[in-house]
Amino acid sequence: MIPMPENLPQPQLSPNTEIVLQKRYLRKDPEGNIQESPRELFWRVASAIAEQEANYERSSRAARELAQDFYHLMTSWKFLPNSPTLMNAGTDLGQLSACFVLPVGDSIEEIFDAVKHAAMIHKSGGGTGFSFSRLRPSKSRVGSTGGVASGPVSFLRIFNTATEQIKQGGTRRGANMGILRVDHPDILDFIRAKEKEGEFNNFNLSVGLTETFMQAVGDDAYYDLLDPNSGEERNRLRARDVFDLLVQKAWQSGDPGIVFLDRINRDNPTPDQGDIESTNPCGEQPLLPYEACNLGSINLALFFVPGHNDENDPAKHGIDWRELRRVVHLSVRFLDNVIDASRFPLERINQTVRGNRKIGLGVMGFADLLYELGVAYNSEQGVQLAERVMGFIQEEGHKASAALARERGPFPAYPQSVYAKGKKGPYRNATVTTIAPTGTLSIIAGCSSGVEPLFALCFTRNILDGERLVEVNRYFEQALDEAGIAGDEIMESVLTRGSIQDMDFLPAGLRRVFVTAMDIEPIWHLRMQAAFQRHTDNAVSKTVNLPNTATEQDIYDIYWTAYKEGCKGVTVYRDGCKSVQVLATGEGQKKMDGDAPTPRYATSVRKRPDMVQGFTQKVQTGLGAMYLTVNEVDGEPFEVFATIGKSGRSITAKAEAIGRLVSLALRSGVHVRDVVAQIKGIGGEHPVFRGKGLLLSIPDAIAWVLEKRYLKNERVRDVNDLEGQRCPECGEALAFQEGCLICPSCGFSRCG
C-alpha cells in the first residue's frame, strides 16, 4: 500500500454516513471490532486502485499523486465506486465487482456447473444473472436417458434453493436475475412463476421480449414458440394474450419485469463474442456470459452553482461543467484501474472481464440537482436537463476512455467491426456508462438515489440503540426556510402524507418542484428513463412507482410506451399490490386493510396451570450468554423466559419483554411456526456465529431455539424475505426503487 500522507485531511462525515460506514464498510476483526477509520478506509481504496498505474509504462500519472486525487474524489462525495470496491479493495479478498452473468447450458453438467459457480460468486459477495432460455422445454425427450425434461422453471427452483443456503459473508443471501425469452415454449409457466408469494424469493424475474413479439402485439397477431435447440416451431400463441398476462402479473405483484433483448443486442459492443442473454439482478447491466459489472456513480447534486440560475435554461449557468468534466475523466481512470485490481472467483470471468474491460459510470443525486435548480422532475425542463447532463457525461466518458486507449491500448477484444460502423475510438472500455442503483452509496454521499425521484421528502431513520430521527430532505428544508415556513407540525404532516401536493397552504411553486415518486405520472417516469437511456451505453435502473388505484391498462400503456421510447427494460411497482407490503403510502395501506371492521382483541388467552415442565437452554449471543427457559403444555411451547446476566439493565429488560410477548402469543393460540417467522432474522448490532449460521440478535436467538426444538422438519421463511415488509437490519420499511428493494434508512439492499 502507498504510505498515507501525514497531512491527508479527515473526511467530513454526517451522522448517517458514519453509521453506514461503521456498519458495512470499515474493516473488522473476527470478533466484529472495527479495525480502521473512515480516513484509512478511503486511503486503502484510493491506494489500491492507484497502484495499478504501475502496470503501464506509458502511464501519465504517478501512483502516489493519483492516490491522493482518488482519495479527494471519494471523500468530497463527488464520486463513489460500487460497494464491493469500497469493502474489498486493498484486502485479501479483492473481489471488487458487484454482479456477474453466468450461462446455463442444456445439460445436467452445465446446469450444475452454473449452480456451483453461482455459489462461489455469492460466497465472494456478488450477485448473478442467468438466462434459462437454452434449456429444453418441459416434457421434452432427453436423448441420453429416454426420460422427460422438467423445464426451465423446475431448474430455476434449484438455483433459488442453492442461493437460500449460500449466504454472502455468512449474513445475507445473494441476489439473482432470471430471464426467459418470450418465444420459449415454457414462457407461460415462467410468467406465472411468482403467483404464490414467497416462491423464487431470491430472484428477480424478467421476460426477454423480441422485436418479432412486440410487432405481433401491435398487429394483434400470433407468434411462434421455438425449440431452443432445433429452432423448430413448437407452438403458436396470440401475442396480446401473452402481453396481457405479463401486465396482469406485474399489476398483482410487480413480477416479472421486461427487457428488450433485440434492442440490447443492437448496442452490443462485441457482437463477435455472441448475443447478450441476461443482465445483472437490477437489470441495468446487460452482460455476456462470464462478464462482471464494474460500476461507480457521480453525485450530480454537488455540481450545482448557486446564484447562477437562468429561469429559461436552468442548466445553462447552474452547473459547473468544467468540474464535472474533470470528475468524469478521473472516474473513468479509477474504474479502469479497478478491473486490474480485481480478483475474480473464476478464471473464465477473469479472462472475459479483462478482455472487454466494461465499466459503468453512472449518476446519483439527480433529484436533488433538480430541487436545487428549481426544476420539476415531471416537466419538459427536467427531461431536457437529463438529456444535457447525461449526454455530457457520455461524451466526456468516451473521450476519457479513448485517451486511456492511447495510453494503455484498447481493450484486448476490441472488434475490428466497430471501425466499419464509423464509431470514434478505439476505446479502452467496451462500455463506459451505466445508471445503477445507489441505495447505500447515496446515503454515504448524502444525496438522492440514482435518477429516481425522492420516495419521500422526509422519513424516519433508525439511529443507534433504537433511537429514531425524522430526517428531512435538506433542499426541501432550505426551501421552506426561504419561504418563511417552518414548524414541527409541517414536518409531521409531510411525514404522515408522504407528499405535499394536497397541502394547499404551501406555495404553488414549492409544490410544483418538490414532487415525490408517487406524485409523478407514469409517462414522466418513462420519459426520464428514456432520456437517460439515450445517452447510456448499458441500461438504466429505474422503477415506475404507481398508486394502488393504477389499473392493468396503466401498466399495459407503460410497457408499450417503454418499447416506443427506446428503453431497454422497465420495472413497475403498484403501491400495496402485495399482501405483505414493502412500503405503502396512506392510500395503499387503506387498500390492504380493506373496509372490514376492526377485529376485536383476542380474549382466549389460556390460563397458566399450577405446574408446568420445560427446559432451559444456554445460548451465546452478541450481548452475552442468554438463558432461555421454555415451559410446555401437552408437548407444545406455552411460555418462555429469557434472561441475560451481567449485560446491563436495558438489555435485561428487553430480553424479558420479548419473552413476555412471545409467551402471550403462544398462550393466545398462535402457532410456534408463526412466532418463529415473525422474530427470525431480526438483525442486531452484535451478531455471533452459531453452528453453520449467525444469531443476529436476542429475538433471532429465541427463534433459533424454538425452531430447532419444535420445527425440526420444517423450514420457516422469515417475514423479511424478498416480499417482506421491513428491513432485516434496521427494521424500517423497504422501498421498491431502481428495480430492487432498498432501505432508505440504513442502505440495505436485496440486490447487493
Q: How far apart are CA 573 and CA 588, in angstroms?
A: 12
Task: Give the Å distances, CA to CA, from 327 to 4, 70, 79, 315, 626.
Answer: 22, 10, 8, 18, 52
CB 718 within 8 A of CB 65: no
Query: Residue 443's Cα: distance from chain center in Å?
Result: 14
- Which of 284, 723, 729, 738 does the annotation list as catalytic? 284
Is 282 among the catalytic positions? yes
Q: Which helix (H) or strand (E) holds 459?
A: strand 458-462
**H helices within 83-137, ranges in order?**
83-88, 108-123
Task: Give the Å distances, CA to CA, from 530 to 280, 380, 381, 390, 567.
Answer: 19, 13, 14, 11, 5
**Residue 536 burial (CB count, 10 A):** 28
- Which of 53, 99, 282, 751 does the annotation list as catalytic? 282
- ∠ CA 530-531-533, nearest 5°, is 60
CB 235 within 8 A of CB 243: no
Burial class (CB in 10 A: 0-12, 13-18, 19+), 321: middle
Name the amino acid, one letter, at 46: A
First and final C-alpha spacing in the chain: 27
Q: How far apart are CA 431 and CA 397, in angstroms?
A: 10
Name the amino acid, one letter, at 319: I
- Dump the DSSP string for 624-677: EEEEEEEEEETTEEEEEEEEETTS-HHHHHHHHHHHHHHHHHHHTT--HHHHHH
Q: How far apart are CA 429 and CA 412, in angstroms?
A: 9
Q: How far apart are CA 74 and CA 63, in angstroms?
A: 16
Which residue shows C-alpha cell 397541502?
A: 503
Q: How far apart are CA 571 and CA 541, in angstroms?
A: 9
Q: How far apart are CA 122 and CA 116, in angstroms?
A: 10
- ∠ CA 193-198-201, nearest 5°, is 80
Q: How far apart are CA 589 and CA 608, in angstroms?
A: 37
CB 582 within 8 A of CB 733: yes
Q: Which of left, alpha, beta for 229 (phi over 0: left; psi -120 to 50: alpha)?
A: alpha
Q: What does the block give as the cell for 159?
A: 438455483
Is 395 among the catalytic positions? no
Is 713 among the catalytic positions? no
- ∠ CA 335-337-343, nearest 5°, is 100
Name the amino acid, one letter, at 733: A
Letter string b/e over residues 380-407, b meaning 16 or more CB atoms within 10 A of that residue's CB: ebbbebbbbbbebbbebbbbbbbbbbee
CB 75 within 8 A of CB 42: yes
Cα-Cα-Cα-Cα torsion 352, 358, 360, 361, nearest 10 degrees, comes to 140
Residue numbers annotated as active site: 280, 282, 284
